[in-house]
């Protein structure tokens, strides 16, 4: 943190306040960026879970169709 001293060696509180405000703004921006990244990752995870479910359903349907076809050819 930057500290600015007056002629008598006093710390200017305004400079400290400005530094603290900058730190707080940066922390808030970082948090917003993290939340945005989390939302993107959550959306990607949901998309991948949906894809897995769709593939499982397609595989189950193909298996059922194969079993039906095998039963039909036995008759």
Nearest-5° Cα angle at 52, 43 to 34: 20
Q: Given the structure tokens 């189950």, which residue do they identify?
A: 60
In the prediction, which pLDDT does 10 show?
Answer: 55
**How far is residue 2 from each of residues 24, 26, 53, measured CA to CA in Å?**
15, 16, 55
Domain residue ranges in the chain: 35-74
Q: Read off the pLDDT of residues 13-31 as tens digits, 9 standing for 90 and up.
A: 777 888 899 999 999 999 9
Q: Read off the pLDDT of residues 33-69 as tens digits, 9 standing for 90 and up.
A: 999 999 999 999 999 999 999 999 999 999 999 999 9
In the prediction, which pLDDT does 11 show?
Answer: 56
Question: In a 3-state reduction of DSSP, which class is residue 10?
Answer: coil
Tell me the CB-side half-sphere exposure of residue 37, using CA atoms within 13 A: 6
């Amino acid at each position: 943190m930057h500290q600015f001293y007056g002629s008598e060696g006093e710390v200017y509180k305004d400079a400290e306040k400005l530094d603290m405000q900058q730190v707080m703004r940066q922390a808030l921006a970082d948090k917003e960026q993290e939340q945005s990244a989390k939302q993107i990752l959550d959306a990607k995870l949901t998309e991948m879970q949906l894809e897995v479910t769709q593939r499982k359903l397609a595989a189950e349907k193909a298996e059922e169709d194969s079993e039906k076809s095998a039963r039909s050819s036995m008759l």
